[in-house]
Amino acid sequence: MSSLMKRVIRQIAGDKRTVAMLIVAPMLIMTLLSLLLGDTSYKPTIAITENSLPSAIVSALREQDAIIIDFNGDIAPEQYLTDNRDVDAVFSASPSGTNITIYESSTKSGKAMQIIQDAIASVNPSDQMKINVVIGNTEASLFDSMGYIFFGIISFFLIFIVSGMALVRERSNGTLERMLMTPISRSAVVGGYTAGYSFFSIVQAIVLVLFSIYVLGLHSEGNVGLIILIMLLLAIAAVSFGELISIFANTEFQVVQLIPIAIIPQIFFSGLIPLDTIPYHLGNLSYIVPVYYGCTAIKEVMVYGNGFFAILPFLSALLIYILVLSVLNTLALKKYRKL
């Protein structure tokens, strides 16, 4: 098994594109996500009917970090927004009260509405509602709030792709069949491949976690070592899952064809959608996918700051998942050699 593990490590290390996919690609993806979902300096444009609004509110709006323009109200706000797509919101007054009109729901219009609400609250501080958050803070970016999900999804997906396609290539080249003609056991074959890819999983986990936390500034309440441990187990589960899929796939393209069935549904159970909001109790399907256990354990550490014993049930579930997949992979190799 050790010889096979070393061969797999040398083989991957010699392929620069595979190494880049495992090490460089996750950092690039996290960098793009931090830019797309992180804090932004965007100033929304708000059109107001200055002559119909109280002067105190107008002054408070002009003190906000936004571009305020005067809207004379000659046309309907809906038509004004249609003709002026650079305007994010229209704030006007009518006999029935004040109105905020937006063209579409987006992060830009959401920021414009928040600025209007802040301006009104500054004029009437006694009516201002204070929001208290037990975990985290209201000013956290979407990147900070969902970073733990990206860790789990990126690690699992990339490791699955590389291991699944590589094993199919091994079989199509006849390497696996020639190997099984030797006295090596099926369990040693599964263990060798798993250990070889797990080596790069360790490197990927360490690089991705340290880069995201110490370079991109992703906040973590808990121990960084625990995050790396969780990602390692999740990556090993991805290797085992990729091995199982590759055994039943005849070509690399068939592995890609199985992604919508084998991988994409798991993303929905990663925490991207609150499980208790999924109808028909379909959220319970999360208990049969490894991504759920990995992302939930990472959340326990990064968001809640919990320690080892808090994530032990999730680690145990990942270990059981790896054990079951290893047994299935060993049994599946019977189709190539009956030993």
pTM of the model: 0.80
Give the per-residue pLDDT at 187: 81
Q: Which has the closest alpha carbon to 299: 219, 215, 239, 235?
A: 219
Tokens of 310: 């808090």
**Alpha carbons 202 and 214: distance in angstroms, whole number:** 18
- E strands present in 58-132: 67-70, 89-94, 97-101
Other CB atoms closer than 10 Å to residue 18's CB: what's the count? 17
Q: Are 206 and 228 in contact (CB under 8 A)?
A: yes
Give the per-residue pLDDT at 339: 44
> Once rounded to an integer, what is the mean pLDDT over residues 3-16?
82
Confidence check: pLDDT of 76 > 80: yes
Tokens of 228: 């790396």
Q: Which has the closest alpha carbon to 322: 208, 205, 190?
A: 190
Domain range annotation of the chain? 2-37+141-335, 45-127
Confidence check: pLDDT of 314 > 90: yes
Which fold is adopted by the domain 45-127? D-Maltodextrin-Binding Protein; domain 2 (3.40.190)
Kind plus residue range of the DSSP H or E element containing 178: helix 175-180
Confidence check: pLDDT of 135 > 70: no
Q: Are 33 and 223 in contact (CB under 8 A)?
A: no
pLDDT tens-digit map of 187-220: 888 888 888 888 888 899 899 999 999 999 888 8
- E strands present in the chain: 45-48, 67-70, 89-94, 97-101
Confidence of residue 225 (pLDDT cuts 50, 70, 90): very high
